[in-house]
Chains A and B, each alone.
Chain A
């Protein structure tokens, strides 16, 4: 099926879903990842599982739209509805392969801020961590998702809600958090990887110029070729099947 028109957020869901490997246990939180897991388990990752900090464990999409992880379609026909310490303990043991995180700010090491940002001379309070700090510290790898807005890309985040990699090029080796740290950043214009714990441009979305993406950052962002990770490619468009699934899981485009 040929790709058709799609929204930025539909592409982000498709790119996020691609970060879930078959067989993974994925830690899913709020917003786009709610849809991305359902796409992944319906396509290339049928043996993946989702765990949610509310205590839900699922192996299949919800039969109905979900605004939150606790909407009844996400609890109905779950594999298990348990508690948070159960889920977080699996994470702490190292049994979660991939976790998804959003952020208001991100720096070159993948540190994320969802607690408080500066706006001119005032500080704006944001909701906070939720489970994000726990996922960032302890998941084997994390995938960061955020709209592509220059103000979100900063030299130093105002508050480290969710730790990224060490700033000495060692990734997580010399970092006190036990998990593997960020492995990808997906924005509404591009995808990025991390090399020696530092962000690099991996692909731009169809129709987006790499130079325009790089100009949105306050530091000189490496590209795939700078770090020996091939060249900057073009992000795959969502397939027709993916778009159909996304529009089934989110029929009114509430999240996408």
Chain B
């Protein structure tokens, strides 16, 4: 498949149907696929169940735009400012279902999904209300030692969405920097949508196979989408746009205020190029670190 036949963001996101479960924001505050989130809002996709560890703004925006009916996550808010007002208001008014996790429990749920096993045990959650108030998890005795453990059932999202530095048209993906729970979420998903800063040929991918985080048979679609993670940072490409997070916090404390914010940043732009014209912060890498050359061979 040649790069010019890759789907547009609009085309690829249209494959995500209303009612889907979608894992996103898997590298925590790093490499969050905001471009996909905003396209979901523009297309009016709704009744989504969002899955993730912490969500630094993305889930709050999707909730504000009316796209979400359920959350399975450990934390939803704004890491720079604390509260995500759209999440808070939706929960307080019973407009969304929330399944409370810890970061490790959602990680293990996806890992179990990726491994094709029904559950994984953990020593976390014991003594917490995340466990006690939930009917999701089970208490069990380790059959070998008799220790008490918690069983975390597998989660298999309909979609996992990731933003990566580079990918080939075939769907092989290089990522670097921290990845959080990207790996288990990709492995667990029925479909994987990859947005990427740069589409490269397969030879580039194969020149450094240790950097390949996702391979083609796992991937449903690759979309070239520079700045697809803004305002979150992406290793080697751009820094966190912290002012955006603070502005969002101060501009979305009511639904009316959010709608006004979204009219500018989501509905008021047709694509990512137009979106980036709204960004005036200089987020460029100031002191590039070039990795030591790596040689493979035979």
> Which residues on the A side are within 8 Å of B104 (C-beta)?
84, 88, 91-92, 131, 133-134
> Which residues on the B side are within 8 Å of A137 (C-beta)?
123-128
- The CA of A175 and the CA of B182, in the complex, are separated in Å by 33
Interface size class of A (residues with CB under 8 A): 35 or more
Contact B132 A160 (CB under 8 A): yes
Q: How many B residues face the partner with a CB closer than 8 A?
A: 61
> Which residues on the B side are within 8 Å of A33 (C-beta)?
none
> Which residues on the B side are within 8 Å of A248 (C-beta)?
none
> Which residues on the B side are within 8 Å of A127 (C-beta)?
54, 75-77, 82-84, 87
Least Cβ distance of A130 to chain B in Å?
A: 4
Q: Which of A70, A125, A138 contacts B178 (CB 8 A)?
A: A70
Q: Which of A54, A77, A115, A129 contacts B30 (CB 8 A)?
A: A54
Contact B289 A77 (CB under 8 A): yes
Further pairs besides A92-B122, A124-B92: 10, Cβ < 8 Å: A67-B80, A68-B29, A72-B240, A83-B181, A84-B181, A128-B77, A130-B103, A131-B53, A163-B127, A177-B127
> Which residues on the A side are within 8 Å of B87 (C-beta)?
125, 127
Contact A76 B126 (CB under 8 A): no
| A interface residues, Cβ below 8 angstroms from B | 30, 52-56, 63, 67-72, 75-77, 81-85, 88, 91-92, 115, 122-134, 136-138, 159-163, 175-178
Asked if B111 is at the interface (CB within 8 A of a chain A CB), the reply is: yes
> Which residues on the A side are within 8 Å of B108 (C-beta)?
85
Contact A54 B240 (CB under 8 A): no
- Chain A residue with the shortest CB-CB distance to B176: A81
Contact B100 A115 (CB under 8 A): yes
Most central of A77, A85, A91, A127 by chain B CB within 10 Å: A127
Q: Which of B28, B29, B124, B285 contacts A138 (CB 8 A)?
A: B124
Contact B289 A124 (CB under 8 A): no
Chain A contact surface mostly: loop
Within 8 A of A (CB), among B66-85: 73-77, 79-80, 82-84
> Which residues on the B side are within 8 Å of A123 (C-beta)?
92
- Chain B residue with the shortest CB-CB distance to A68: B29
Q: How many A-B contacts if CB must be within 8 Å?
A: 184
- The CA of A89 and the CA of B209, in the complex, are separated in Å by 25
> Which residues on the A side are within 8 Å of B30 (C-beta)?
54, 70, 75
Contact B29 A69 (CB under 8 A): yes
> Which residues on the A side are within 8 Å of B124 (C-beta)?
88, 92, 133-134, 137-138
Contact B126 A69 (CB under 8 A): no
Asked if B183 is at the interface (CB within 8 A of a chain A CB), the reply is: yes
- Interchain Cβ contacts under 8 Å between A and B, 9 examples: A54-B30, A68-B56, A70-B232, A115-B129, A134-B102, A137-B125, A160-B129, A161-B130, A175-B127
Asked if B184 is at the interface (CB within 8 A of a chain A CB), the reply is: yes
Q: Which of A71, A91, A136 contacts B233 (CB 8 A)?
A: A71
Contact B123 A178 (CB under 8 A): yes
Q: Which of B27, B123, B130 contacts A129 (CB 8 A)?
A: B130
- The CA of A30 and the CA of B92, in the complex, are separated in Å by 25
> Which residues on the B side are within 8 Å of A128 (C-beta)?
73-77, 100
Contact B91 A83 (CB under 8 A): no
Asked if B212 is at the interface (CB within 8 A of a chain A CB), the reply is: no
Most central of A71, A128, A136 by chain B CB within 10 Å: A128
- Chain A residue with the shortest CB-CB distance to B30: A70
Contacts known (A30-B79, A70-B28, A125-B88); A53 close to B103, Cβ less than 8 A: yes
Asked if B287 is at the interface (CB within 8 A of a chain A CB), the reply is: yes
Asked if B14 is at the interface (CB within 8 A of a chain A CB), the reply is: no
Least Cβ distance of B35 to chain A in Å?
A: 18
The 10 closest A-B pairs by CB, nearest first: A127-B77, A163-B127, A55-B178, A70-B29, A176-B126, A70-B30, A130-B75, A133-B102, A131-B103, A125-B91
Least Cβ distance of A91 to chain B in Å?
A: 8
Contact A67 B181 (CB under 8 A): no
Least Cβ distance of A50 to chain B in Å?
A: 13
> Which residues on the B side are within 8 Å of A176 (C-beta)?
126-127, 148
- The CA of A55 and the CA of B107, in the complex, are separated in Å by 12
Contacts known (A55-B180, A84-B180, A133-B130); A71 close to B239, Cβ less than 8 A: yes
Least Cβ distance of B194 to chain A in Å?
A: 17
Asked if B235 is at the interface (CB within 8 A of a chain A CB), the reply is: yes
Q: Which of A52, A85, A91, A161 contacts B128 (CB 8 A)?
A: A161
- The CA of A128 and the CA of B75, in the complex, are separated in Å by 5
